[in-house]
A and B are shown apart, each in its own frame.
Chain A
């Protein structure tokens, strides 16, 4: 340990406290609807499936939270029409 480090010991607890406070504020707001991504996925798929043949296994839903904007990304792979008819 260098002399410099010896005298300026890093205090990590305040960082831990701040990270927890931010995280928990977020999680508490979401409690009860923690499965938001799953719920959205199911409902969006139901609507799409009404009109287009889709493979439920090939759907990707991503929820990304930013400081200012949150984005929801839904990727649906459509079945080949011919294959869908044959299947």
Chain B
């Protein structure tokens, strides 16, 4: 049975697209059939993060408006054969999407894939609402920072009221993915810690992704971090999160600050750099 999962946050720049790509790749690496849909019409980026920017011919808007057939618009990943991408349009705006059109696309994809991952645009407007509308579950991406937590709270409220499932009175499954987590700062009390964020948002934790240059490098190269550097802490966090999505009970280990000798001697300066 296929699952439609929206990756959302309210706030921009917290890691929705990176997390969509990484979770999608991690699920596909375990053999699951995964399609990523970029809902950020007008500001598409998932194609770039996935390294497929030069292969986009048709997009979500073309399919919704009937200008292209779904198989023509799907881009099969060259590295993981069970991973596909449905890009957003770069030239249109979000009004080009309709609820019926999106439902049609999702229903067609349900027959072909195990996971349909909807990468939501930032904000709480039409684009974000369409991305979550037909989802079965959500991953709420949050940074340990006041504005991100506040916006996540708002999005959680919308998931519980504006999704089709919620309107039908069904339970809507939500998971928190804490990204850009800096263990050293949290330990010093400079950054909200895991417990703080969980207490405030009160939804189950899916994983903690540490702030890491590996994630940046992966985006630079257009390759999800779970593929580019599977041994990195960030990749392991995403891989574990993907296993949890599949129902595995894995303990979540809070990242700890790792310091070398230099780091121990000059820890404060190193943290600032």
A residues bordering B, Cβ < 8 Å? Answer: 9, 11-14, 16-17, 19-21, 23-24, 27-28, 31-32
Contacts and interface: CB of A to CB of B under 8 A. Distances in A.
B132 to A, nearest CB: 16
B52 to A, nearest CB: 38
B240 to A, nearest CB: 25
B164 to A, nearest CB: 18
Given A24-B153, A27-B150, A28-B153, 19 more contacts: A11-B188, A11-B190, A13-B192, A14-B189, A16-B145, A16-B146, A16-B192, A17-B192, A17-B196, A19-B146, A20-B146, A20-B200, A21-B200, A23-B150, A24-B150, A24-B200, A27-B153, A31-B157, A32-B161
B126 to A, nearest CB: 17
Interface of A is mostly: helix
Interface string B150-172: 10011001000100000000000
B186 interface: yes
Contacts of A9: 188-189
29 contacts: A9-B188, A9-B189, A11-B188, A11-B189, A12-B190, A13-B186, A13-B189, A13-B190, A13-B196, A14-B189, A16-B145, A16-B192, A16-B196, A17-B192, A17-B196, A17-B199, A19-B146, A20-B146, A20-B150, A20-B200, A21-B200, A23-B150, A24-B153, A24-B200, A27-B150, A28-B153, A28-B157, A31-B157, A32-B161
